[in-house]
Amino acid sequence: SQKISVTQGAPTYEISYTTSNGKILPIEFQWYHFRADVVSHEYVDGKGVITFDRPIEYIAADTFADCTTLTSITIPKSVTDCDGSIYGCTNLESIYGPYASEDKRSLIINGELSIFAPKGVTEYTIPEGVTSVGVGVFYKCSNLKKINIPDSVIEIKDSAFRECTALQSLIIPESVTTIPFAAIKGCVSLSNFDIPDGVTKIESYAFWDCKSLTSINIPANIVSIGYAAFYQCSSLTSVNCKPINPPTLDDFAFHYNAF
């Protein structure tokens, strides 16, 4: 096992986890990952334990990204922000702690779906009451074919569904007003997608490399389409633009399309 020691204070809080190979996660934690110092990190008796010198409230983006041996994780009650901290963890099967959903697949903090455990899931229904889909929550969930989103969701964050390469069905609620940065980028199996009428902005890289997308309707309320938003949508043959005043287009918004 690996152990990291510091001299400050007595340990007061922990994140625990399990791995498929029974080994410690090979991660070099820095202060900015948790805004707390790691007192120790070891894997003992079938469980990894990261111990801190203070209760942690924050887990930085990418902290556990692409930890492919991670199978479960327990997030303590003190954590209130872990946007984008876990993605690409293809063997993550269970999430524990006070913010875990009933099925142990989602971590929901203050209405935001912050972490998803994708192992073995091909269709997932986001729990009712969720208002925001966090940064990169479904990023690289390559087995998901369908994601059901409740009407309670009013916000989709950056890279939320990025590189869900098997995704074939995705319906965004009408209450969502922005398709954000790289939200649906690389969803190469998605052939149909309806942009909700309430959307006013499509941000950069939103649909980049959606190779199976054949047509798109631009709703009447759209005012801007970002850089390379539909770049390399190589099957895209039809764009129906409904706004009376054409939206502003950044460079390469429609580039390497079929038309």
What does the pLDDT read at residue 8?
45
What does the pLDDT read at residue 14?
94
Closest CA to 72 of 96, 51, 56: 96
- What are the tens digits of pLDDT across the range 156-197? 999 999 999 999 999 999 999 999 999 999 999 999 999 999
Residue 247: helix, strand or coil by DSSP?
Answer: coil
- What's the distance, CA 60 to chain centroid? 13
The amino acid sitting at 98 is: P
Q: What are the tokens at 43? A: 């894997």
Whether 71 contacts 18, CB under 8 Å: yes
Quick one: CA dihedral 116, 121, 125, 128, positive or negative?
negative
Closest CA to 162 of 93, 214, 216, 87: 87
- What are the tens digits of pLDDT across the range 82-115? 989 999 999 999 999 999 999 999 999 999 999 9
Please list the pLDDT of the chain residue by residue as tens digits (259 residues). Answer: 444 334 344 445 899 999 999 999 998 888 999 999 999 999 999 999 999 999 999 999 999 999 999 999 999 999 999 989 999 999 999 999 999 999 999 999 999 999 999 999 999 999 999 999 999 999 999 999 999 999 999 999 999 999 999 999 999 999 999 999 999 999 999 999 999 999 999 999 999 999 999 999 999 999 999 999 999 999 999 999 999 998 999 999 999 787 6
What does the pLDDT read at residue 9?
46
In the block, residue with structure tokens 């389409």 = 225
The full DSSP string for 146-163 is EEE--TT--EE-TTTTTT
What does the pLDDT read at residue 130?
98
What does the pLDDT read at residue 259?
65
- Sheet bearing 155-156, strands edge to edge: 106-109, 112-116, 132-133, 155-156
DSSP 246: P
